[in-house]
Amino acid sequence: MESNRLLRPVAHRVMEPGLWRFTRRSVPRGVVLGVVAGFLFPVAQIAIAAVFALPFRANVPVAALTTFITNPFTTPFLWFVAYKIGAWLLRSEATTIVQPAAEVATGWLHRLTSAAHWLWAQGPAFALGLVVLTAACAALGYAGSALGWRVWIARKWRHRHANRPIDEAS
């Protein structure tokens, strides 16, 4: 990276060892940034998470890998949950699109425009729900990774003390 003339101005920042080291502070930050990038940005999630990790001194690999929480299998479910949360918070439940059978056979353009109008009308509920779901999942991810880190370190310490020779223990 340092030899590339386009990346040279930021190479020193990207190659900082603290961004690639797994520490008790950088890992939870990476989880939060990966969740935020994964939920809020439908494309270029890994790149966005990596760029976000720079100013927040988060672990870049963890931020990039956490974006995989959203994938083609989980995204529709997460979007549905986000919409339901937003509709509940705004106290607005959408009506479904029902069309007569004759119109279904002939009016594909009308169906497309009515679906677009329905989606446009549900935008505020979806957006609010997505922000709330993102914040909740990011907070849970931070707490879970911080707790997981503490449990892992405590286990290492217990294992270290259990394997200590008896003459050192006294």
Q: Which of 84, 102, 106 is nearest to 93 (CA)?
A: 84
pLDDT tens digits, residue range 60-89?
Answer: 888 999 999 888 888 888 888 988 898 888
Alpha carbon distance 60, 26 (integer Å):
9
**Entry pTM:** 0.71
- Give first-to-last CA distance, the chain, whole Å: 52
pLDDT tens digits, residue range 101-138?
Answer: 555 555 666 666 666 676 667 788 888 999 999 999 99
Q: What is the mean pLDDT of residues 145-162?
A: 86
Predicted pLDDT at 8: 65
Domain locations in the chain as residue ranges: 8-169
Whether 41 shows a pLDDT value over 50: the answer reads yes
For the chain, how are helix, strand and coil distributed in percent, rounded to 5? 75, 0, 25
